[in-house]
């Protein structure tokens, strides 16, 4: 319930809008929005409408920030240099353009009132729960974005959302179909398993030295050690510059006092609720019945507040909280839809209110706790303030240092030491690295960096590489230290591995042959004496962990009138899995709530497919031109 309520007011669309403001500037600065000159400014046209290199770079950087946030330190930004990724991002921009064009042709628009309402509900633009025009202008100004530009982009996002909603609202799934799907999906089948173990066949296999040699001769490319090199390199990073910028305690305290609201935690409340759900498609009669039930429950809990949790378990339609007696845990005001939040944050501890109407239905609410708003202490946030101020100052110094670094590694191309000394950078030497890089390559493990390091200019001419941006605000230049050409490993070094590979191949062949022979006998009604079935167990289409994925459809395709049925296949470890299907256990008849949920899920799937098909149709009918040369250039 809590997640669902959050999604309505602070869901993916609001996050995208905020990301449009903050992500590109936080990573790359405002130059990416305004300094986009030159002849390669257009990456594609869609029915005559242009998609600029600026828009593509912004989308690329948004994707980079999203992946970095979700994957953490393991994220390698160089993956976005892959042609497939870049073309996928451009494809997304093309589809957005097609969607916006189609919406406008259909006469759809976002009114000023709709725009104002949406922006007004974005928490980043609010103070004390209310929209602040001063904060709105300040935040956009800090990010170097004009209000008209931001509002144009918001209109586009809302317009595309309306197009998606049109498909979602038009998708209807009959209850009869949902019932049939549920019956098939939740049907269980009773099975036994028997596995042919590959270890039992190892003694039957003999691999000769001639076979090993023949395999080695035919697959020498598999045993080639690629060319490798060690590199001396220098790294210029904003973070490193930031660490050496002194910030005194007086400055830190001043920043804390001036931005105290930034370090304050909002008031939080804890509540239980009982939800009597209604659907947007419910008629007036069903809504009236739901409200009457909610009013009756409100009377019961008002008369006996101690019974609230038990009644929530029995009667609440919120599966996420009912089992916990309706407990929603602690939450701030902006985590809930407005009617619910207004009620909760207007109550006294222990008070019960209801019914409160929201898009989800009718709620009876019991307030169980209050945590007042409080500011974090200066000592608690001192370190983070210092880091933030250091990065602010480092950002100003980094641009100048980056220019000096780039110029010096080019001008002093025969050595790196003078550049490192001039900029206070430590030189490092890598381990052995191939053209494909790898985990041991560290900061050098970027496609652009690897391409530069293994270029003729570095390998043959012994020059420094250019200063390459391997991550946001991180520049690297490298030069060759040592080089080893490609070589083939000798047979003696790999014969053991080849022998094991050939044994495994032959064993798999023997296992498969026996498995298929036993399966044929079983289907002919002859069960071999040495087949010992395991214990009976029940499996369904979504709970069949003990069975190979390749067998699931066969298990559920077995004729229930001709039991037992048999299926078999190779499994992942080289064995052969046989399954005996003995009986069918029908799915329980779904209750009304579950059936309704299944209708919604299936309707969503149908809507998503219809929306995808619509976009495909727009793409096929559109005149789309892609300028590949501009697409493949580095971000501006």
pLDDT value, residue 77: 66
Least confident of 69-78, 135-144, 208-217, 604-613: 69-78
Whether the per-residue pLDDT at 427 is higher than 70: the answer is yes
**Distance, CA of 126 to chain centre:** 28
Other Cβ atoms within 10 Å of 136 Cβ, number: 18
CB 489 within 8 A of CB 223: yes
Determine which helix (DSSP H) or strand (DSSP E) holds 33, and give its type and residue range: helix 31-34
- Cβ neighbours, 10 Å, residue 571: 19
Residue 336 has pLDDT above 70, yes or no: yes
Q: How confident is the model at residue 4 (pLDDT cuts 50, 70, 90)?
A: very low
Coil vs helix vs strand at 465: coil
In this prediction, residue 438 carries a pLDDT of 73
- 3-state secondary structure at position 215: helix
pLDDT digits (tens, 9 = 90+) for 453-497: 999 999 999 999 999 998 888 999 999 999 999 999 999 999 999
State yes or no: pLDDT of 626 exceeds 80: yes
**Parallel, antiparallel, or unpaired: how do β-strands 188-196 and 576-585 relate?**
antiparallel
| Bigger pLDDT: 251 vs 428 | 428
Q: Over pLDDT 70: what percentage of the chain?
A: 90
By CB neighbour count within 10 A (0-12 exposed, 13-18 middle, 19+ buried), where does 621 fall? exposed
pLDDT digits (tens, 9 = 90+) for 505-538: 999 999 999 999 999 999 999 999 899 999 999 9
Give the tens place of pLDDT for each residue, 83-119.
778 888 888 889 888 988 888 888 888 888 888 888 8
- pTM of this structure: 0.49
CATH 1.20.58.340 is held by the domain 2-172+610-631: no
Residue 57: how many CA atoms within 13 Å on its side-chain side? 23
What CATH class is the domain 267-372? alpha beta
Q: Report the DSSP beta bridge partners of residue 369.
A: 270
What number is the average pLDDT over the span 305-319?
90
Q: 147-171: string of b/e by CB count within 10 Å (b at 16+)?
A: eeebbebbbbbbbbbbbeebbeeeb
Give CA–CA dist 493/220, Å, rounded: 13
CA distances from 135 to 124, 126, 127, 147, 331 (A): 8, 7, 8, 12, 24
Closest residue by Cα to residue 355 from 462, 281, 275, 428? 275
The CA distance from 293 to 317, in Å, is 12
CA 558, distance to chain mean position in Å, is 38
Tokens of 73: 């330190």
- Rounded to 5, what percent of the chain is helix, strand, coil? 55, 20, 25
Q: Which helix (H) or strand (E) holds 216?
A: helix 209-218
Helices (H) and strands (E) in the chain, counts: 23, 22
What confidence tens digit (pLDDT) does each residue in 22-73 have? 333 322 222 322 333 334 578 889 888 888 887 888 788 777 777 776 666 5
DSSP characters over 559-623: -GGG-SEEEEEE-TTS-EEEEEEEEEEPPPPPPHHHHHHHHHHHHHHHHHHHHHHHHHHHHHHS-
Percent of the chain with pLDDT over 90: 39
- Whole-number mean pLDDT of the chain? 84
| CATH topology identical between 2-172+610-631 and 267-372 | no
Mean pLDDT of 163-187: 85
Cα separation, 289 vs 279, in Å, equals: 13
**pLDDT of res. 504:** 94
| Structural domain spans, the chain | 2-172+610-631, 188-223+490-585, 227-237+400-485, 267-372
Handedness of CA 621, 627, 628, 633 (dihedral sign): negative
- Any residues with CB less than 8 A from the CB of 591 and at least 6 apart, and which? none
Query: Which pLDDT band holds residue 633 (cuts at 50, 70, 90)?
Result: low
Q: Name the residue among 268, 269, 256, 266 with its Cα closest to residue 374.
A: 266
Relative orientation angle of helices 378-411 and 249-258, to the nearest 10 degrees: 110
Q: Does position 635 have pLDDT exceeding 60, yes or no?
A: no
């Amino acid at each position: 319930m809590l997640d669902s309520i959050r999604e309505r007011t602070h869901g993916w669309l609001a996050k995208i809008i905020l990301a449009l403001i903050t992500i590109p500037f936080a990573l790359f600065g405002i130059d990416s929005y305004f300094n986009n000159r030159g002849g390669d400014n257009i990456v594609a046209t869609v029915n005559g409408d242009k998609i600029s290199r600026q828009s593509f770079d912004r989308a690329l950087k948004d994707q980079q920030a999203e992946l970095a946030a979700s994957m953490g330190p393991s994220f390698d930004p160089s993956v976005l240099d892959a042609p497939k990724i870049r073309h996928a991002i451009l494809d997304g921009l093309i589809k957005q353009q097609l969607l916006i064009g189609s919406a406008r042709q259909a006469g759809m628009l976002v009114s000023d009132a709709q725009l104002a309402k949406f922006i007004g509900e974005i928490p980043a633009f609010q103070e004390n729960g209310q929209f602040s025009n001063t904060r709105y202008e300040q935040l956009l100004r800090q990010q170097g974005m004009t209000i008209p530009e931001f509002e144009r982009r918001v209109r586009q996002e809302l317009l595309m959302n309306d197009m998606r909603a049109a498909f979602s609202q038009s998708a209807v799934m009959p209850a009869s179909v949902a019932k049939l799907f549920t019956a098939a999906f939740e049907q269980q089948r009773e099975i036994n398993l028997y596995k042919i173990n590959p270890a039992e066949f190892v003694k039957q296999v003999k691999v000769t030295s001639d076979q090993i040699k023949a395999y080695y001769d035919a697959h020498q490319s598999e045993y080639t050690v690629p060319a490798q090199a060690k590199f001396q390199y220098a790294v210029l990073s904003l973070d490193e510059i930031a660490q050496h910028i002194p910030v005194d305690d007086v400055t830190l305290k001043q920043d804390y006092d001036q931005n105290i609201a930034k370090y304050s935690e909002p008031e939080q409340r804890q509540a239980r609720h009982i939800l009597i759900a209604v659907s947007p498609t419910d008629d007036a009669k069903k809504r009236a019945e739901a409200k009457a039930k909610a009013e009756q429950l409100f009377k019961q809990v008002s008369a006996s507040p101690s019974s609230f949790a038990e009644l929530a378990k029995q009667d609440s339609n919120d599966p996420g909280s009912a089992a916990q007696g309706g407990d929603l845990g602690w939450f701030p005001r902006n985590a809930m839809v407005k009617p619910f939040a207004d009620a909760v944050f207007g109550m006294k501890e222990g008070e019960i209110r209801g019914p409160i109407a929201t898009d989800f239905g009718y709620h009876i609410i019991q307030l169980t706790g209050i945590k007042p708003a409080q500011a974090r202490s200066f000592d608690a946030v001192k370190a983070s303030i210092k880091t933030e101020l250091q990065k602010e100052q480092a950002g100003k110094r980094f641009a100048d240092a980056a220019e000096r670094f780039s110029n010096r590694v080019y001008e002093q191309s025969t050595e790196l030491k003078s550049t490192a000394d001039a900029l206070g950078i430590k030189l490092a030497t890598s381990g052995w690295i191939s053209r494909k890089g790898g985990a041991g390559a560290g900061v050098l493990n970027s496609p652009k960096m690897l391409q530069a390091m293994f270029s003729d200019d570095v390998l043959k001419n012994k020059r420094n590489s250019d200063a390459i941006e391997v991550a946001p605000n991180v520049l690297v230049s490298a030069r060759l230290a040592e080089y080893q050409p490609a070589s083939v490993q000798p047979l003696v070094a790999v014969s053991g591995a080849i022998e094991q590979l050939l044994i495994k191949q032959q064993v798999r062949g023997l296992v498969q042959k026996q498995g298929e022979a036993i399966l044929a006998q079983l289907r002919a009604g002859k069960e071999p004496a040495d087949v010992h079935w395991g214990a009976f167990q029940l499996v369904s289409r979504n709970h069949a962990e003990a069975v190979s994925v390749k067998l699931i459809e066969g298990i559920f395709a077995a004729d229930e009138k001709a039991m037992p049925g048999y299926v078999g296949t190779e499994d992942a470890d080289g064995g052969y899995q046989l399954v005996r299907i003995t009986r069918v256990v029908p799915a329980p008849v779904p209750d009304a709530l579950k059936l309704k949920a299944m209708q919604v899920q299936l309707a969503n799937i149908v809507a998503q497919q219809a929306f995808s098909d619509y976009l495909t149709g727009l793409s096929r009918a559109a005149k789309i031109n892609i300028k590949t040369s501009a697409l493949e250039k580095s971000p501006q």
